[in-house]
Structure 1
Amino acid sequence: MTDHKGKKIKDLVFVNCFLGGAEAWASSDMKNIDEALSAAMSDSELQSVIAQYYPGQKITSTKLPPHVVADNVTPKFFKNQAEALAEELFLNGVLGKKDPGQSVINLMLPRGIVLVDGFSPGFHPPPGTEEEHGRRKRALIKIDDDAADSTQGLGGYHGSVHVNHNGEDVTVYYAVGVFSEGNNGIAVFDGENGAWQNVVATFYHELNEARTDPDVEDAVRLNDDSKIGWYSDGGNGEIGDLPIKEVESTPNAPLTQVFKVVQLTQGNGTAPIQLMWSNKVHAPAQ
């Protein structure tokens, strides 16, 4: 991984937003996701891997109270929908008084919703942004010339949107992920707890990438590599991407090599995570 000198988020704040309303979620799943993700993001041993990307600095992670969002969720959820909802939630005060520049809004999709790394049919960018929209479309993951979606191995992604707030341009960061089970998302864990564990591992991946490379969306929008934070030398992705690609490069290697339920160091039991890339050992680590 190389530091391209773009922004990083040392003291991260995040909020879990469960989309689709309370009827779309089991209360036990929401509780387990909220508690396990908070524990993993604040665990000293796990975060020691992330801390290496902030030499000489102490990093922190704070979870805000979760929100259940009653908005209807379409069967396919697109990038422009994620951005519009992140903007709406921010303007409605989901972050409270926390600095949006240090915060991530987690958009958690309910069971059965397919996430698309692309824009919805008929979407038109605001006037004057056509050129940057073209760059964004070219940067999207494609499979057979179509936008990748969560039925093809996509678990989630993170990004940002610019919001006019009290006359100022504010960057709002978000992460979005699916309820991975069956052939939707990255369904590594199974059994009674498998689905909610997959959600936690996905957002552990996205939050750690969002804090080490928050402005990657602007790098694409503006064609400005100085906006990039930590990114691989070979263009293979961020700190969560490299471990998955390393497994996928080995024939028949299982994703359980990097998706694990790990013991937490502060006596808080266990948490499902995905191992992040460590520059110190040049390999996935926890």
Structure 2
Amino acid sequence: MTGETYKRPLNVSFRRGSRAERVYRERAGLPQTEALAPGLKPHKTHDLHYHGGKLIADLHFKNFYVGGTAWHKSDKTHIDAALSAAMADEHLNNVMQQYFPGAISTTFDGSEALPGNPPTTVSQTSIEQMLTTAANQGKLAGSDLKSTVFNFMLPPGTVLNDDTTGSGAKSHQEHDPADARKKSPVPLDDDVDSLHGLGGYHGSIHLNGQTIYYAVGVYSQVEANGTENGIPVFDKPWKNVVATFYHELNEARTDPDVEDAIRAGNDPSAIKFLGWTSKQGEECGDYPVFEAGNDLQLVFQEVELTSGKGTVPVQFQYSNHAHGPEGPVTMPDPKSHTTLPQPA
């Protein structure tokens, strides 16, 4: 690593107090150039600012279940139903709508189990290879790539890391220090994975002249030996999966091209890729977890659907209106910016 300080926007979910938090907080920042959750205080310094990048008002998403043989049918059914209901819920979207010039909508485009046994470890490189393979196999056909996020749900026991050097098939302990990264802002001795607080992240690839958006998240649970994989908060792991992807999808719709900003590094032009982030480089889902500290149940909650047909597990998102994490509200929050692009 050189002596240059690399600042990068956050596009990950992590547990408070974990190695993942420490690593990403140390690197967080921008490229150079009133329904607050009970128990939390407002912090205007973490308000989100719009930087001119792309937004996805009418979001579509599709779920891919990695290592299909390892998934229980009931888990997939619960995840599909709860995540689609949460993302389309009116009172939850009343919070997110403040970041868009007009109305927002979300459409669930179904799910598919990917064949094969569950991988031991998945890296950023390997998840992007999965996305490329899915595209080449025609699994993305019919999707509007400009507005669709493809979710990769990792099965029980699979460890997620942020490695960008190869397949990432090795465990964290087996990582070869000689396999140095040339461009990553995270030092080798601070590699992070889901055994050390990483819950998931979102990003994009460029393939055949098109940008394809994705999110990946772990099956967060406490393992039999007491080890925590991901961010286990709720009483059932499938609920943790829903909350993780609720976080990632809302970040993906408000800051979809963050991966291009990360790739650009400290180039001042990198900021043009960003949608909504704080001055600290946080996306809409980041500061709520940090602010909740060791009491994650302040922001990870099951909330009533607007329809009255049950509850869904979500993570509260940052609201400029409340200056902090905000749960569902009955009326749309006021718009947060007067110079947003007008809807097409």
TM-score bin, normalised by smaller chain: 0.7 to 0.9
**AA of the residue aligned to 2:199:** G
Correspondence for 1:126? none
Q: Distance in 2 between matches of 1:122 and 1:106?
A: 19
Question: 1:103-156 CA deviation, whole Å, 9 max, x = no partner?
Answer: 000000000000001225578xxxxxxxxx844x11x4x6x8331100111110
> How far apart are residue 7 of structure 1 and its match?
0.6
Gapped regions of structure 1 (runs ≥ 5): 124-132
Q: Distance in 2 between matches of 1:217 and 1:37?
A: 24
Which residue among 205, 209, 217 is the counterpart of 2:259? 217
Deviation larger for 95-104 or 62-71:
95-104
Which residue among 205, 210, 221 is the counterpart of 2:247? 205
Q: Report the structure, 1 or 2, having the larger helix content.
A: 1
Correspondence for 2:89? 43
Structure 1: which 4+ aligned runs deviate by more than 2 Å?
71-74, 90-96, 119-123
Relative to structure 1, is the Cα distance of residues 245 and 30 closer, same or farther in structure 2, using a 3 angstrom cutoff? same
Deviation larger for 262-271 or 36-45:
262-271
Q: Distance in 2 between matches of 1:116 and 1:98?
A: 28
Correspondence for 2:74? 28
Which residue among 110, 114, 131 is the counterpart of 2:155? 110
**AA of the residue aligned to 2:99:** Y
> How far apart are residue 228 of structure 1 and its match?
0.7
Q: Distance in 2 between matches of 1:87 and 1:205?
A: 23
**AA of the residue aligned to 2:300:** F
Q: Distance in 1 between matches of 2:167 and 2:93?
A: 42
Correspondence for 1:4? 51
Query: In the TM superposition, what are the counterparts of 1:95-244 in structure 2 within 5 Å?
Result: 95-120=140-165, 134-135=182-183, 137-138=184-185, 140=186, 145-164=189-208, 169-182=209-222, 183-190=228-235, 194-222=236-264, 223=267, 224-235=270-281, 237-244=282-289
Asked whether the equivalents of residues 300 and 313 of structure 2 are also in contact (C-alpha less than 8 Å), the reply is yes
> How far apart are residue 94 of structure 1 and its match?
2.8
> How far apart are residue 229 of structure 1 and its match?
0.7
Gapped regions of structure 2 (runs ≥ 5): 1-47, 169-180, 223-227, 328-344
Relative to structure 1, is the Cα distance of residues 91 and 11 closer, same or farther in structure 2, using a 3 angstrom cutoff? farther
Asked whether the equivalents of residues 39 and 268 of structure 1 are also in contact (C-alpha less than 8 Å), the reply is no
TM-score (norm 1): 0.86
Asked whether the equivalents of residues 13 and 62 of structure 1 are also in contact (C-alpha less than 8 Å), the reply is yes
Identity %: 46
Asked whether the equivalents of residues 59 and 106 of structure 2 are also in contact (C-alpha less than 8 Å), the reply is yes
TM-score (norm 2): 0.72
Count of residue pairs the alignment pairs up? 259
Deviation larger for 57-66 or 72-81:
72-81
> How far apart are residue 97 of structure 1 and its match?
1.6
**AA of the residue aligned to 2:131:** A
> How far apart are residue 71 of structure 1 and its match?
3.5
Bigger relative CO (Cα 8 Å, ≥ 6 apart): 2
Which residue among 121, 128, 131 is the counterpart of 1:83? 128
**AA of the residue aligned to 2:217:** G
Q: Distance in 2 between matches of 1:271 and 1:122?
A: 34
> How far apart are residue 201 of structure 1 and its match?
0.2
Q: Distance in 1 between matches of 2:190 and 2:115?
A: 30
When Rg is computed on C-alpha atoms for both structures, the one with the higher figure is: 2
Question: 1:71-127 CA deviation, whole Å, 9 max, x = no partner?
Answer: 44431110000111112212333333221111000000000000001225578xxxx
Asked whether the equivalents of residues 125 and 166 of structure 2 are also in contact (C-alpha less than 8 Å), the reply is no
Asked whether the equivalents of residues 15 and 95 of structure 1 are also in contact (C-alpha less than 8 Å), the reply is no
Q: CA RMSD in A?
A: 1.6
**AA of the residue aligned to 1:46:** L
Instruction: Give the match's secondary structure for 2:205.
Output: strand
**AA of the residue aligned to 1:254:** D
